[in-house]
Structure 1
Amino acid sequence: MRVLICGGGVAGLTLAYWLRRRGIEPVVVERAPHGRLGGYGIDFFGTGYDIAARMGIIDRLTPYQLPVDSVDFVDASGSAGARLTAALLDKIIQGPHLALMHTTLEGALLDAVQDDVEVRFGETITAVRDTGQAVEIDFAGGGTERFDLLVGADGIHSRTRELGFGPEPRFARHLGCRLASYPVPDRYGWGRVRAHYTEPGRQAVLYPTGRPGELIALFLFRSPDAAAVPRAERLDLLRSVLRGMGWITPSLLADAPASESVFMDTMTQIVMPAWHRGRIALVGDACGGMTMVSAQGVSMAMAGAYLLAESLSDSRADLRADSLSSSRADPRADSLSSSRADSLAAESSGHERAFIRYQTLMRGEVRRRQRNALVFARSLVPRTRAGLLAQSLANRLIMREAFAPVLRRQFGAASILPPQTADLGKD
């Protein structure tokens, strides 16, 4: 079985790894020339950590843990009104966890597949034709190829979803905020702290990347408009929205790189009635985007990839059983090798069973985290001073050990995977 994976980010590379381990041939296309750019930090625990451990890449990730000892919610003078300490975070998660840059995880995943998976950078798809027996793909770089299956792992703004399921607005749930981020020089003296400063309708965040002399400035701001902002206009928009903001925000804006280097996107969830159609399936943010406020987007992307690979692998036994009867009745079998005839006769039903199983296992978990994120997002950047006061009081109340179980349920810290069996991950 040959599977095209559109998207070389966390979901796509995880899927490629586990497909290859299960004896299925993946090919990955990624439109970025040398991998994706995502200059922001992620919280990595629970299911994602579990899968990374099964892949043997934890030792590769651990040295790049972000040097953050606490999350401080500060006022305009920089004084912390509430603090999430590392000790309290340990009690919330109750398991191993890492804070990483997004690109650190992607780099480790790429290292894990680069020796035995074909990855084509600077490439994307332009047309998809599901013939019922294969998927014909036209590529932006020219040429057409046939694959047994196509999986879209290309994020919130998935090209695969657009070609195979319909335009993005049909599935997008905009949460009314935008986010932007970029690196700045470390000249602020904050040390091993992630600092959050909030005003009505906007928020500034600053934290170390672990690279000497570098911090990440992250901004959230209310925005009813969900349209994409051209790269050349991003910095002007950010300066306009944050004009007059207190704390060290003016300095962070002054330290901004060229507008084209600013990461900016809407805070959007993707909600779909089905994650598969014919020989096309979606995984990760392409079908179940949860936004950064869920703290589980990366983990659920890896979980979906892992379970999709497992389902496709398990379905191959069904494919062989189906083919024994189906290929005898298929007139094409006379002109094909017996193995290929078996594949053609069986995969039309086998891959559908695999897609259904994968969606059944994942969708409830994704929906629960989307609901939690939707509730949390409403109070993340309060619109009014009254809302900001309520947020400040709530932060002071819940940043205590007694509320650790509540926060644990909010962020779904436990792994959703069953215990590892003896033969897990073997070819």
Structure 2
Amino acid sequence: MRVLISGAGIAGLTLAYWLRHRGIEPVVVERAPNGRMGGYAVDFFGTGYDVVERMGILDRLRSHRLPIDRVEFVGAPGRPGTRMSEALLGRVYHGPYLPLMHSTLEATLLDAVADVEIRYADSIAEVDDTGADVEVGFASGGSERFDLLVGADGIHSLTRELVFGPESRFLRPVGCSLASYPVTDRYNWGRMRAHYTEPGRQVAVYPSDERGKLIALLVFRSPHNENVPRGLRTDLLRTRFGGMGWLTSALLAEAPAGESVFMDRMAQIVMPSWHRGRVALIGDACGSMTLVSAQGVSMAMAGAYILAEELASDAGHERAFARYQARMYPEVRRRQNNALLYARLLVPATPAGVTAQSLVSRVLARQAFAPLLRRQFGSESILLPASAELGRG
């Protein structure tokens, strides 16, 4: 079997690994010239941690662990903040917790699929599912036949648009946008991630994997969900966050040219079906949860792992696709609903909302509430034990 994977992000690379591992030939096509390599952090635990452990790449990832062992919510001047200690985080995640740069995970996955054909600077342009195979036309010209096509091309998936319809049918905005970029550590920062909130906007800062560098993450209410051209991003941030307290003015002063700022709308993709004929979707292409879910990467890797497992079961692609969705869909929808609630509370619109957020964070930052937070973030692995999966038919 020969499978074309559209997208060389976390989901696509993980799927390529597990397909090859199970004796299926993957080919990956990626629109970007050198891969994606997102410059922001991901919280890695639960299912995602389980997948990389089975891939044998855990030790390399551990060596790039971000130096973060506590989370602080910075109070307004004169007000105390709230701290979540390493011990509390351990109880929330209920197992190993590995903060990583997104780019570190992608680079490690790329090394793990060094024997897989990856075609950069190209993308699919046409899809014809003949019933017997899938004929794919490429933007670079020419066409090729594959047994299956899997869209792993993110929230703005071209595969989804070509096969399932326009993005507007499936996009569920949450009313916020986010931006991220590196800044110089001028603060002797330490091993923490800190959040500061004012009505309609929040700034977070945490250490990167590069010595002397921090990552600034800016989240703001964006009810119109506008797409901001790259060249205008820095100016927009300085407008939206101008006059904000804490370290914000210094962080804005270090914002790079707009082309270098990562920015996107926070939105979810909700679809009734993730597969049609010989085409299926994985990761953000079918189940984006937003960055605040802290589970997007884990669920993308889980979907890739489970889809490869089902395709290798000799059940036929239709049954494999259906079983993959049946196993993943309830888990993704639960996390999407939780993330939607959390996203609305993340950036309160009013001063009263900010005060309420501060009070709630103080209550939740107690050991007794760790199980509640654990359920919120879905930190338990959804995979069967490896020994049990060996016996599945």
- The verdict on a shared fold, with TM-score over 0.5 as the criterion, is yes
Rounded to whole Å, the distance in 2 between the matches of 1:6 and 1:227 is 26
Deviation at 1:37, TM superposition (A): 3.1
Rounded to whole Å, the distance in 2 between the matches of 1:282 and 1:262 is 28
- What is the letter of the counterpart of residue 334 of structure 2? R
Deviation at 1:79, TM superposition (A): 7.2
Deviation at 1:254, TM superposition (A): 0.5
Matches within 5 A, 1:68-217: 68-77=68-77, 81-114=81-114, 116-217=115-216
Deviation at 1:189, TM superposition (A): 2.4
Rounded to whole Å, the distance in 1 between the matches of 2:224 and 2:126 is 29
- 1:399 equivalent to 2:365? Answer yes
Rounded to whole Å, the distance in 1 between the matches of 2:130 and 2:79 is 62
Partner of 2:341: 375
Q: Which SS does the other structure have where 1:365 is aligned? A: helix
Deviation at 1:423, TM superposition (A): 8.3
Partner of 1:359: 325
TM-score (structure 2 length as normaliser): 0.97
Rounded to whole Å, the distance in 1 between the matches of 2:126 and 2:48 is 32
Rounded to whole Å, the distance in 2 between the matches of 1:189 and 1:22 is 47
Partner of 1:310: 309
* Structure 1 outlier segments of 4+, above 6 Å: none
Percent of residue pairs bearing the same amino acid type: 68
Rounded to whole Å, the distance in 2 between the matches of 1:93 and 1:393 is 22
- What is the letter of the counterpart of residue 243 of structure 1? G
User: Once the two structures are superposed, what CA deviation does each residue of 1:290-341 show, in whole Å capped at 9, x if it has no partner?
Assistant: 0111111000000000000001000x2x4xxxxxxxxxxxxxxxxxxxxxxx
- 1:38 equivalent to 2:38? Answer yes
- 1:240 equivalent to 2:239? Answer yes
1:285–1:297 Cα contact (<8 Å) kept: yes
- 1:274 equivalent to 2:273? Answer yes
Query: Which moved further from structure 2: 70-79 or 223-232?
Result: 70-79
- What is the letter of the counterpart of residue 394 of structure 1? V
Rounded to whole Å, the distance in 2 between the matches of 1:120 and 1:407 is 41
Rounded to whole Å, the distance in 1 between the matches of 2:223 and 2:388 is 50
Rounded to whole Å, the distance in 2 between the matches of 1:78 and 1:60 is 43
User: Once the two structures are superposed, what CA deviation does each residue of 1:93-116 show, in whole Å capped at 9, x if it has no partner?
Assistant: 1211200001111111111011x2
Deviation at 1:210, TM superposition (A): 2.6
User: Once the two structures are superposed, what CA deviation does each residue of 1:246-277 show, in whole Å capped at 9, x if it has no partner?
Assistant: 11111101001111000000110000010001
Rounded to whole Å, the distance in 1 between the matches of 2:214 and 2:366 is 28
Rounded to whole Å, the distance in 2 between the matches of 1:374 and 1:74 is 23
- What is the letter of the counterpart of residue 257 of structure 1? P
Rounded to whole Å, the distance in 2 between the matches of 1:383 and 1:12 is 37
User: Once the two structures are superposed, what CA deviation does each residue of 1:207-239 show, in whole Å capped at 9, x if it has no partner?
Assistant: 101311110000000001223211111111111
Change in CA separation of 1:152 and 1:78 when aligned onto 2, cut-off 3 Å? farther
Stretches of structure 2 that go unaligned for 5 or more consecutive residues are none
1:73–1:80 Cα contact (<8 Å) kept: no
Rounded to whole Å, the distance in 2 between the matches of 1:225 and 1:260 is 22
1:174–1:269 Cα contact (<8 Å) kept: yes
Flag the structure with larger Rg: 1
- What is the letter of the counterpart of residue 357 of structure 1? R
Deviation at 1:81, TM superposition (A): 1.0
Rounded to whole Å, the distance in 2 between the matches of 1:206 and 1:422 is 41
Partner of 2:52: 52
Stretches of structure 1 that go unaligned for 5 or more consecutive residues are 319-349
User: Once the two structures are superposed, what CA deviation does each residue of 1:23-71 show, in whole Å capped at 9, x if it has no partner?
Assistant: 1000011111111031111100000000000000001100111101211
- What is the letter of the counterpart of residue 366 of structure 1? V
Rounded to whole Å, the distance in 1 between the matches of 2:184 and 2:80 is 22
Change in CA separation of 1:245 and 1:310 when aligned onto 2, cut-off 3 Å? same
- What is the letter of the counterpart of residue 320 of structure 2? A
Residue number among 364, 376, 388 corresponding to 1:410 in the alignment: 376
2:37–2:106 Cα contact (<8 Å) kept: no
1:75–1:247 Cα contact (<8 Å) kept: no
Partner of 1:340: none
Counting helix residues as a fraction of each chain, which structure ranks higher? Answer: 1
- What is the letter of the counterpart of residue 178 of structure 1? S
Rounded to whole Å, the distance in 2 between the matches of 1:293 and 1:402 is 22
Q: Which SS does the other structure have where 2:236 is aligned? A: helix
Rounded to whole Å, the distance in 1 between the matches of 2:13 and 2:80 is 39
2:196–2:203 Cα contact (<8 Å) kept: yes
Deviation at 1:75, TM superposition (A): 2.6
- What is the letter of the counterpart of residue 127 of structure 2? V
2:37–2:107 Cα contact (<8 Å) kept: no
Deviation at 1:76, TM superposition (A): 4.3
Rounded to whole Å, the distance in 2 between the matches of 1:313 and 1:78 is 60
Query: Which moved further from structure 2: 69-78 or 153-162?
Result: 69-78
Deviation at 1:80, TM superposition (A): 5.2
User: Once the two structures are superposed, what CA deviation does each residue of 1:134-168 show, in whole Å capped at 9, x if it has no partner?
Assistant: 11111112211111100000110001001110111
Q: Which SS does the other structure have where 1:239 is aligned? A: helix
Matches within 5 A, 1:229-268: 229-268=228-267
- What is the letter of the counterpart of residue 291 of structure 2? M
TM-score (structure 1 length as normaliser): 0.90
Change in CA separation of 1:367 and 1:419 when aligned onto 2, cut-off 3 Å? same
